[in-house]
Chain A
């Protein structure tokens, strides 16, 4: 076994509170920090007298997080184009803008961000909206530039990003506010009308002066008017739209009930006799509006959070001009330009490397988990990540013309072409409308011999009492409650129909990289001499190569550099450690260093290669002694999660861009049928498979990269998993915050439970409607009965929705 790294007693970092790693400990210092970022933040806060932050944080009992400043210059925030697009001018020459802040997570963050005026003179106000991680910054451009503010925020560990989609966001905000106002006004109307109705019911039982009764009825009519004409307008428009396209929708019976109740009541008020249902009608409108708003709010919240992640993608490139490097917005990048890409940066455009060599992580584009070595003259694509060292790239294609841009076009096309899923409640609504109208007509005809007035009264009573209030609430409430619980468990569901689709099993395609496996190289197997391990660790400690990092992660780092070390690109590394000559690298490289390799080791290496692993030979003092096989190890929870999904009746397969052998070995380890697992599939190939299969049944695609995005958009349900690309987030219906496949299994289980709640609610509301209809046909329903039945049934549905434990994780945290 490798050395265990858990030994020393943990010293907490003074900023974030996580244990300080042994090599960062400074025995002489009064405070210990886990990293330079945390030290910088602590010093900055102390200098400005803001160290109360730690007291606030301890009082809120929130866990700390290490500060990881990005160190960017944010020059793009000072450009005229950003000022025109992203800023609002306020009186007094001040400017205001919204910034998305990475890493805000608790009350103490609110405290610190809102103390920004104390940190940066010239900032007038900072307001943080914690759920959206969005800060509204107001500043005086004559005293400070926005880039300086952004650098300060970055410096205290909240990396800022400009908000995208400002206009759409603003429109949505207005829509939300309009809905809140509608609900508020309707609620006030319902309350007022109900109070008056109470007086009327009292009068009906104990006697009331006729003038007072007439007056109260007229008052109710006048107060109800805005709720029906303006508040219920949403349902009327839905009903008209449904009629126009010839489908039966839940809005139809709702509108029928509202209109029948209101018109009948208005006529009776004018006539001065007969029943009025104003209290039931307003209560109905209010409850239904609330149900709709709650559902939409929940979907919005999930969409907002994924959008937020999307705006974290870098929107700048580092342009090299006359020997100097400066940051420019991505939009301003033109073909022919020369850009610098540092280690761990994303490549901003398609182009050719003109200087430097590095290893690229192509997994977002191709799904290939092994890093690819590149050097001068090699072609690189936007969206891939530079892993090891700085390179310079001559830009050839930018924006939409890049390979990623082309893929995004496919994504858009397929997202548009997708057929909407008919909600369960709407399918029921079809039958419901027909039955209710038939019953109303039947009631009218049955009571006609007793007089037209009475017949109309009973028919209207039936329409009002069967107006699907509980039915209309049953699905939205149950679904939004389930989505809220899912969000708390780290599963963001963007559309309520997703839960319904997931209850009927079909085919589920998984992407290998990052879903089934860790998505990075790890040491999977070591065959041969164990004593060579420390030597290898020492040799690789100082290399930035991905293979070296994987070996160091597995074997532990060793201080003290080797006397000499030399790396050969695409080959390996040699050096002297503790006076011994060590070589680590590809079999051919090591063979060239040492001469013939023992046949048993060659056979081991070949076996590893056949399993899709990358074999490395280790030679000490001129003779090969061990094989280290690197690969993308399956996640620990993958097998269990796959089994859980399979138990639900889903057929699981793998569609990966990775090497077929690697896919097959990963599948075998997890317990999947290798026949259903395909490797080396191009993004277009994934798309084709998914579109072809979804003709026949529900297809769920789980993926994380740009290479999956088109397939995610085309699938019946697309699920993007943790750490994925922006494109995948935009295309998917569900975004899973936790890594691994377990949340996908949770989602499928939870969806089943959520739909059981929906069905339970629907059955109850239908029963209620049947009972109501029967009473109305018997002529037993008056306004009082309707007014009691309606809220009671709705309350039961509400309670049933919010009590259901749809997405609760087993002992969380």
Chain B
């Protein structure tokens, strides 16, 4: 079981890295607007051709 003396601090260190990344993301405003980016991601694709009548 002595492995936990190494693994647990390692896991905590990894978590700290994650937390630092999260703090950076918040500080740079990435959580300010949670709505528009979801729309924006759709725009980079070429917009679909004029809506053709779909087969049903």
Contact = CB atoms under 8 A, between A and B. Distances in A.
Interface stretch (A8-16, A180-188, A702-710): A180-188
B8 A216 contact: yes
Given A177-B26, A177-B31, A185-B19, A107 B47 contact: no
A131 interface: yes
A130 B36 contact: yes
Interface of A: 52, 55-56, 58-60, 107, 110-111, 114, 128-132, 173, 176-177, 180-181, 184-185, 188, 191-192, 196, 199, 208-209, 212, 215-216, 219, 223
Given A56-B43, A177-B26, A177-B31, A215 B5 contact: yes
Given A58-B50, A110-B43, A216-B8, A188 B32 contact: no
Contacts of A114: 40, 43
Contact of A177 (B18, B27, B36): B27
Interface string B1-44: 10011001101100100110011001101011101100110110
B53 interface: no
Given A184-B19, A184-B23, A212-B4, A56 B47 contact: yes
A60 B42 CA distance: 10
A111 B29 CA distance: 21
Nearest to A134: B33
Contacts of B48: 55, 59
A757 B11 CA distance: 41
Contact of A184 (B1, B22, B43): B22
B49 A110 contact: no
B39 A188 contact: no
A181 B26 contact: yes
A111 B47 CA distance: 10
A contacts with B: majority SS:
helix
B26 A55 contact: no
B40 A192 contact: no
A129 B32 contact: yes
A223 B12 contact: yes
Contacts of A128: 36
Given A59-B48, A215-B5, A192 B39 contact: no
B27 to A, nearest CB: 6
A56 B50 CA distance: 9
Contacts of A188: 15, 18-19, 22
A62 to B, nearest CB: 10
A55 B49 contact: yes
User: Which 9 pairs, one residue from A and one from B, show the smallest C-beta to C-beta distance?
Assistant: A107-B39, A55-B47, A130-B36, A129-B33, A184-B22, A52-B47, A56-B47, A181-B26, A180-B26
Contact of B32 (A52, A176, A212): A176
Contacts of A223: 12
25 contacts: A55-B49, A55-B51, A56-B47, A58-B50, A107-B39, A107-B42, A110-B36, A110-B39, A114-B40, A114-B43, A130-B33, A130-B36, A131-B33, A131-B36, A176-B32, A177-B31, A188-B15, A188-B22, A192-B11, A192-B12, A192-B15, A212-B1, A212-B4, A215-B4, A219-B9
B34 to A, nearest CB: 8
B50 to A, nearest CB: 6
Contacts of B51: 55, 58-59
Given A188-B18, A209-B1, A216-B4, A110 B33 contact: no
Given A130-B36, A181-B27, 7 more contacts: A59-B51, A60-B39, A114-B40, A177-B27, A177-B32, A188-B19, A216-B8
Nearest to B5: A215
A129 B51 CA distance: 27
Nearest to A128: B36
Contacts of B47: 52, 55-56, 59, 111
A191 B23 CA distance: 17
Contacts of B9: 219
A687 to B, nearest CB: 39
Nearest to B9: A219
Contacts of B23: 181, 184-185
B17 to A, nearest CB: 11
Nearest to A57: B47
A191 B18 CA distance: 13
Given A56-B47, A110-B40, A177-B32, A219 B26 contact: no
Contacts of A192: 11-12, 15
Given A114-B43, A184-B23, A173 B32 contact: yes
Contacts of A58: 50-51
A599 B4 CA distance: 105
A634 B39 CA distance: 41
A181 B22 contact: yes
A208 B2 CA distance: 12
B31 A129 contact: no
Contacts of B26: 177, 180-181, 184
Contacts of B5: 215
A111 B27 contact: no
Contacts of A196: 8
A177 B5 CA distance: 35
Contacts of A52: 47
B4 to A, nearest CB: 6
Nearest to A59: B48
A73 B49 CA distance: 37
